[in-house]
Structure 1
């Protein structure tokens, strides 16, 4: 972990709330001058603590109202299968996260689609690209909490 102090943590907390916050306001909120804030932000960007700044979009308003978690069991456990699976999932814009897991399943995919037909199209494309041992899915009925903010 990079060395960050309490002021850096406060800067990061504010940026996680609003990455487009003007430096003057950011400085006021954390008790630093505009220039001191700018230097710290640039330093955290250079070290990789801040990877990038993005806009968070409303999936519902964009017609992507269904979140699905796909539980995958690999057809094989070798480097070739893993590379093929990684390549396939990276090219699918609906797929928001892919995680290699411990326990009964091998991989967990988090995806956003419009509806069940959208899920079926995603499923059909995935299994056409990569042989699967087993695929099951769970659909989100209610989002109770979703955040990108890390606990600082």
Structure 2
């Protein structure tokens, strides 16, 4: 992995704030010439440090007013059950993120739904129908401090 110098870090910080920033503005913020900045961005992409460019959407404006962190406990950890769980998680648009972690729960999901009824439907029709899922504990997100 290449070592990042301060100019690279300034590029990454600016792109994290606004991935649509023009190369000219990015170069200015990084203290580089536009051609040097473009080469550095390409090198960061090719090295895999920049994996993708994305957009942040406002869930509430899309009618998704309920966010939750769901702590999932599995019944078994055999490869077939884990693969089925992972495929199910990856296929659901309600699940924004999934983390395998240490601690009490096996997985933590970030889930968004329209409301509590839609969330209950997600639990009953999706999550609890995955054979490997033993139980789930939900923490409703009250507000996002940093996201």
Residues 88, 130 of structure 1: 8 Å contact kept: no
Q: Which runs of 5+ in 2 are unaligned?
A: none
Corresponding residue of 1:137: 138
Distance 1:133 1:60 in 2: 30
Cα deviations by residue, 1:99-142 (Å, 9 ceiling, x for unpaired): 11212111111111111112112212122233421111110112
Question: Which stretches of structure 1, 4 residues or longer, exceed 6 Å deviation after superposition?
Answer: none
Corresponding residue of 2:89: 89
Distance 1:114 1:2 in 2: 43
- SS of equivalent residue, structure 1 residue 99: strand
Corresponding residue of 1:110: 110
Distance 1:2 1:59 in 2: 36
Corresponding residue of 1:23: 23
Q: Would you say 1:52 and 2:55 are equivalent positions?
A: no
- SS of equivalent residue, structure 1 residue 112: strand
Question: How many pairs align?
Answer: 146
- SS of equivalent residue, structure 2 residue 138: strand
Residues 82, 132 of structure 2: 8 Å contact kept: no
TM-score for both structures, normalised by structure 1: 0.90
What is the deviation of 1:53? Answer: 0.8
What is the deviation of 1:145? Answer: 2.3
What is the deviation of 1:71? Answer: 1.0
What is the Cα-based RMSD across aligned positions, in Å? 1.2
Cα deviations by residue, 1:7-66 (Å, 9 ceiling, x for unpaired): 000010011111111111111111111111100001100111001111111111111121
